[in-house]
Amino acid sequence: MFKGRKITKLLEKYAEADTKKGELQMVSELEQFGKPAVRHTIEAFQQRKLAPAKAQSLLEKLCDDSSIEDIVPLIGESYDEVRRVAKEMIIKRWKKSSLPLLIEYLKSPDFYSRTSATELLATFKNQSCEPELVSMFNGADAERKRNIIRILSKTGGQVAKKLMISALSDESWQVRLSAVKSLGKMKAPESVDPLIERLTEDDRQMKRLALDALGAIGDKRAGRPMMELLKDDDLLIRQKATDYIIEIAESDIVPDVINLMNDKDVNVRRCAAEVLNNLKDPRTGDVLIKAIKDSDWWVRQIATDSLAQLKGDNVLKAFIAMTRDPDESIRRCAVEFFNKVIHKSALEPLIELLKDQDWWVREKAVTALAKLKDKRAIAPLAEMISDEEVKWVVPGALAEIGGDEVFESMKEFLFDDQKAVRIETIKALGKLKSMDAVSDLKECLKDTDKDVRSEAVSTLKQLTGKVFKPEEEPTPQEVLQAAVPGGSAAEGAILTEAILVVDLCRSTEIAARYGDSFALDLTRILTETVTPIARREKFRFMKSTGDGFLITFVKVYNSIRFAMEVLKQISKHNEKVDKAARIDLSFAINLGETRIDAKGDRLGVATNMTFRVEGVKPEGLIPIENGMAKEDMPVVNRILVTENVEKEIKGMEGIKTRMVGLFELKGITGLHKVYELTSVE
């Protein structure tokens, strides 16, 4: 009794000691009591009379090898700090000697004891315990089997692998899933055939996990069996199968993939086209050329990309023929191909495409001709001064072709009524480094548009080394009346555009809390921020949606720069105001076809989809691999983009996106991938 009271007193003093010297004195006295001091320290820790750090430090000094019987039982303690300290001490001191005790704790009725024992045994990765664990596995309940599988997946011995493979046939679904996961982590080649059998099961989760396991193992035998999953109803399974086939399959599957290109299901053809694109086998040329006429835009795009890498005379001839195809989508593929494959045989066909009815085809023809750098294209390009939709890209193309003869062709563009054309021409003259342009550039210093004058100042300095100042400053009214790029479209026209929706978050809540006038003031600030930036980025159409705007652009890149610049400016506003006056925004960007009504408004599925994406919420997120968790998804000051946009900007320098996940969008069939734009330079 006296000894116990003495130890308790010393522990109280130790707990209250506020210097190292005081602590060491108490430790020195407690060490003299041996095991009783250890047990009293544990009791004080359990009763929370000792802080965790002090308790751990004291126990590490008081315990010897024989203290294992006092420490190991603490892994079942309900107080998490006691469990943590016990586990850390076991790892440091009793890695081998604790094995028999920990194995016994796997049978414990206490949840903490079982879980902690599993964690420790998995950490130790000691193969010597495999036989005993395998013996325990037989007759164990599902939870204990899963714990044993977790441990054995870390030990990685042959005995462990054999048990995992046998567990694939266990009566418990959860045990089978655990075995599949673990075999993937162990990358056991001997498990390939049993895992392939799991691919035929009806259970979706089992198929997904089996795919992941086979993908991790990377054995080429799994390539052909995975082919069947390209027809699966589950989007995630189809995509996983596609990705893994690309990683592990050999070219002997090409004939089978080619057969899938004739499937009635567009999703199957998409997956097959992706596989063919990545296999880059010469045998795929003919079937990919045929795929250019597929009804699905995605299949056409993948086929075009793949053929651009295959090249070859037959491919070139096929695409030259496509430039004359009556189908607009085929001509788009053709001109896209010749932007990737630069070949002199395309000169005349591309010049003909400058007269195409589709503005997108004309614009891509301009950029393709620029890459050819053939001076025979100069005159046809100069004639495009009358093309209101595309002429803004011509000066840059002429500058890329280069030569003294392009200067005269560019002069007319320098004083065009479209601001965007004038700016692009000034930039192009800077690239040409033509001193003959100086006098004309000086005239641009009188332009009514601030951005045009600024570009002229910059280019003149680049050419002459001198700093020029605009001769006159425009009034604010002149700035607001500056030319709007993009022109207008006739009623009923179908345009392919970058569609952007920006919305003021929580506007209804703000109005209810602070009043309508306060909310309207925030909307005014947003309008004043948005309008000049939209002009600068050459918007084609803009309308107010009450709490935000619907805006379209000719180029996806301009829509992205617009969104990032608006966020940047609003962020500066937020730094200067109190919390109530903060403006939080939500953006969505899509790329697709819009139909123009009598008022110029944008209608159609692509527009509806943009509004749906802008409004997605974390609770609607379907998490996928490499995507976000619901709790990580941003809800304000975000720029979400569709898969069409992500594909368009992929590889563009300075632009980065990250996967958010899948969403169901009201009124739009299927599941849709959504990405977040994270940066643009």
pLDDT reading at 1 higher than 80: no
Lowest mean pLDDT among 46-60, 477-491, 653-667: 477-491
CA distance 489 to 487: 7
| Closest CA relative to residue 433, chosen from 452, 471, 406, 393 | 406
Assess whether 413 and 535 both reside in one domain.
Answer: no
For residue 247, tell me if it sits in a domain: no
CA distance 627 to 657: 11
What one-character DSSP code corresponds to residue 590? E
**36: domain range?**
1-48
pLDDT at 626: 87
Which residue type sits at 473?
A: E
Say which CATH number the domain at 434 has: 1.25.10.10
Assess whether 551 and 663 both reside in one domain.
Answer: yes
Q: What is the DSSP string of 8-36?
A: HHHHHHHHH--SHHHHHHHHHHHHTT-HH
3-state secondary structure of 89: helix
CA distance 599 to 490: 10
Last residue of a domain, one of 463, 483, 503: 483
For residue 420, tell me if it sits in a domain: yes
Say which CATH number the domain at 506 has: 3.30.70.1230
Name the token pair of 133: 């664990």
- pLDDT bracket for residue 482 (50, 70, 90): very low
Higher pLDDT, 476 or 574: 574
For residue 313, tell me if it sits in a domain: no
3-state secondary structure of 91: helix
Q: What is the DSSP string of 269-323?
A: HHHHHHHHHHH--GGGHHHHHHHTT-S-HHHHHHHHHHHHHH--HHHHHHHHHHT
pLDDT in tens, 273-290: 888 888 777 777 788 888
For residue 21, tell me if it sits in a domain: yes
Assess whether 598 and 579 both reside in one domain.
Answer: yes
Give buried/exposed letters for 51-69 (b at 16+ CB in 10 A, else e). Answer: eeebbbbbbeebbeeebbe
Name the token pair of 230: 């390209």
- For residues 208 and 220, the answer to whether their CB atoms sit within 8 Å is no
3-state secondary structure of 494: strand
Assess whether 507 and 471 both reside in one domain.
Answer: no
Which residue type sits at 358?
A: D
Assess whether 607 and 659 both reside in one domain.
Answer: yes
- For residues 384 and 353, the answer to whether their CB atoms sit within 8 Å is no
pLDDT at 157: 87
% of the chain surpassing 70 pLDDT: 95
Q: What is the DSSP string of 626-679?
A: TS--GGGS--SSEEEEEHHHHHHHTT-TT-EEEEEEEEEETTEEEEEEEEEEEE
| Mean confidence (pLDDT) of the chain | 87
Which residue type sits at 211?
A: L
pLDDT in tens, 294-324: 888 878 888 888 888 877 788 888 889 999 9
Assess whether 434 and 383 both reside in one domain.
Answer: yes
CA distance 508 to 550: 19
- For residues 237 and 196, the answer to whether their CB atoms sit within 8 Å is no
| Closest CA relative to residue 324, chosen from 335, 315, 313, 314 | 335
For residue 519, tell me if it sits in a domain: yes
| Close Cβ partners of 570 (under 8 Å, ≥ 6 residues apart) | 526, 529, 583, 585, 637
Last residue of a domain, one of 33, 48, 63: 48
pLDDT in tens, 614-649: 999 999 999 998 899 999 999 999 999 999 999 888
- pLDDT bracket for residue 362 (50, 70, 90): very high
Query: Which backbone phi and psi does 214 adopt, to 5 degrees?
Result: -65, -35
Assess whether 637 and 499 both reside in one domain.
Answer: yes
Say how far residue 435 (Cα) sits from the centre of its chain: 46
Higher pLDDT, 652 or 204: 204
CA distance 489 to 494: 9
Q: Is the CA virtual torsion 633, 636, 641, 646 positive or negative?
A: negative
Number of structural domains in the chain = 3
Q: Which long-range contacts (CB under 8 A, 24 or more apart) does 543-548 make?
A: 543/601, 545/501, 545/503, 547/503, 547/504, 547/507, 547/523, 548/501, 548/502, 548/503, 548/504, 548/585
CA distance 384 to 175: 69
pLDDT in tens, 565-623: 999 988 888 888 787 778 899 999 999 999 888 778 899 999 999 999 999 999 999 99
Assess whether 543 and 661 both reside in one domain.
Answer: yes
pLDDT in tens, 418-432: 888 889 999 988 888
pLDDT in tens, 18-43: 899 988 999 999 999 999 999 999 99
Give alpha helix (H) positions in 311-446: 313-322, 328-340, 347-353, 359-372, 378-382, 394-401, 405-414, 419-432, 438-444
- For residues 214 and 243, the answer to whether their CB atoms sit within 8 Å is no
pLDDT reading at 434 higher than 80: no
| Close Cβ partners of 604 (under 8 Å, ≥ 6 residues apart) | 592, 593, 594, 595
What one-character DSSP code corresponds to residue 475? P
For residue 22, tell me if it sits in a domain: yes
% of the chain surpassing 90 pLDDT: 50
Assess whether 533 and 479 both reside in one domain.
Answer: no
Q: Which helix (H) or strand (E) holds 163?
A: helix 158-167
Assess whether 432 and 555 both reside in one domain.
Answer: no
Assess whether 398 and 500 both reside in one domain.
Answer: no
| Close Cβ partners of 333 (under 8 Å, ≥ 6 residues apart) | 292, 300, 301, 303, 304, 319, 322
Assess whether 479 and 500 both reside in one domain.
Answer: no
Q: Which residue has the tokens 């209101």?
A: 388
For residue 199, tell me if it sits in a domain: no
- For residues 409 and 401, the answer to whether their CB atoms sit within 8 Å is no
| Closest CA relative to residue 167, chosen from 152, 156, 154 | 152
Name the token pair of 544: 């107010």
- For residues 182 and 164, the answer to whether their CB atoms sit within 8 Å is yes
- DSSP-derived pairing of the beta strands 638-642 and 585-596: parallel
For residue 157, tell me if it sits in a domain: no
CA dist list (Å): 235 to 63, 241, 376, 673: 57, 10, 49, 11
Last residue of a domain, one of 483, 513, 535: 483
Higher pLDDT, 28 or 468: 28
- For residues 136 and 158, the answer to whether their CB atoms sit within 8 Å is no
Higher pLDDT, 1 or 195: 195
Q: Which helix (H) or strand (E) holds 39?
A: helix 35-46
pLDDT at 68: 94
